[in-house]
Amino acid sequence: MKQNILTSVKGFLHNTIDYAGLFPPASLNLEDSFDNFVEYSNGSYNWMLSKFICPFRKTKDLSLLPGFKSSTQKIRLSLLSASSLKTDEFLLLFKDDILSYRKLPDEFHDKSIFETIELKFPLELVERNSKDSIRIFLDSLSEIVKEHFDHRIFIFCELPLIGDFDHNLKNTVKEICEHNEAFNDAGFKLRTGGTDPSDIPSPDILVSSIRQCLVHNVTLKFTAGMHHPIRHLDKGMNAKMHGFVNVFGAGILAFRHTISDRELREMISDEDPANFKFSYDAFEWREWKSDTEEIHGARNGLVLSFGSCSFDEPVEDLKKLHLI
């Protein structure tokens, strides 16, 4: 049956979800998670699906899965590097991850497209809070990648939610921007939830992240906690969870409009689905509107995707809202 989905909705949600079924709360095994990804890739809503998220250390097992071997389509991959609290040790582990990946059989490389790396900054680097050390660290990562790959691989850097996060955020995004003048291969990753209320950043942190990335022309992706389109109370955690329509809508409106931080905060905090409207060629929140060209620009230049351990929940909720 042909789907009559609004152009604005398609632009807003295209390639939005990086599937992370391996991670909590789903915590599926590798085979089940990958089989789900293949099923979604062949389904009616595959246009919303982006990459399969997998740790580097599991790629060897991934290459052995029957579903991977029999796949007739290229599998888009976003790989998670090993982590360490110490910067020097992190770089050694990172290089080991890259070398191990390169040693995988040609069949694996023929069937997959390695597009992005996701990593969490070592705690030592964050605590040092030195501009030069962040840029040197990023440059070192890029040099390792360039040594082993001919194509550009984007690196998304996650900043732990500790200390003076707003100060660390501004410093980090600025250094990513300066790093990109030479390498053009890094973006910022913000954790938007988890299994504990302390994992959920405030609306102010989301506003600041969007604003800093916009000012410094740094792309932004999100991870965790956004299984549902609209902000809501999660009764299990007794905490407010962010909605991906709220968050991406805020990025889209900020991209081309002079909307204030206060309004962005209100939008991210809005729990009323009726306030978020899609017409054939535009997305609206209150009196603010972005047309399909602006939506496309923001989705490619600012707010790229979000990692979710569920694909079914976002789809079912969007159906309930009559958006798909």
DSSP string, 85-119: SSHHHHHHHHHHHHHHHHTS-HHHHHHEEEEEEEE
Mean pLDDT of 279-303: 96
Please give the pLDDT value at position 71.
Answer: 85
Residue 1 domain flag:
no
CA distances from 171 to 119, 164, 201, 271 (A): 17, 11, 18, 32
Mean pLDDT of 138-156: 95
Written as six digits, the tokens of 51 are: 């990459």
Whole-angstrom Cα distance, residue 197 to residue 72? 41
SS3 at position 321: coil
Mean pLDDT of 281-307: 97
Whole-angstrom Cα distance, residue 320 to residue 324? 9
Asked if pLDDT for residue 2 goes beyond 70, the answer is no
At residue 147 the predicted structure's pLDDT band, cuts being 50, 70 and 90, is very high
Residue 96 domain flag:
yes
Whole-angstrom Cα distance, residue 132 to residue 256? 31
Please give the pLDDT value at position 131.
Answer: 66
Written as six digits, the tokens of 29 are: 């095994």
Residues 6+ apart with CB under 8 A from 224: 20, 23, 191, 192, 193, 194, 199, 307, 308, 309
Residue 291 domain flag:
yes
pLDDT in tens, 106-144: 999 999 999 999 999 999 998 886 667 899 999 999 999
Please give the pLDDT value at position 128.
Answer: 80
SS3 at position 180: helix
Query: What burial letters (b/e) apply to 113-146, b meaning 16+ CB within 10 Å?
Result: ebebbbbbbbbbbbeeeeeeebbebbebbbebbe
Q: Are 305 and 16 in contact (CB under 8 A)?
A: yes
Residue 204: exposure state from Cβ atoms within 10 A (0-12, 13-18, ≥19) = middle
CA 117, distance to chain mean position in Å, is 11
Model-wide pTM > 0.85? yes
Written as six digits, the tokens of 28 are: 């599926």
E strands along 128-219, which residues? 154-158, 186-191
**CATH at residue 172:** 3.20.20.70
Number of domains in the chain: 1
Share of the chain above pLDDT 90, in %: 89
Please give the pLDDT value at position 1.
Answer: 44
Mean pLDDT of 179-208: 95
Whole-angstrom Cα distance, residue 218 to residue 303? 9
At residue 3 the predicted structure's pLDDT band, cuts being 50, 70 and 90, is low
Mean pLDDT of 292-310: 97
Mean pLDDT of 274-293: 96
Residue 114 domain flag:
yes
Residues 6+ apart with CB under 8 A from 86: 122, 124
Whole-angstrom Cα distance, residue 289 to residue 257? 9
Write out the residue range of the structural domain in which residue 17 sits: 7-320
pLDDT in tens, 177-192: 999 999 999 999 999 9
Please give the pLDDT value at position 118.
Answer: 98
Residue 42 domain flag:
yes
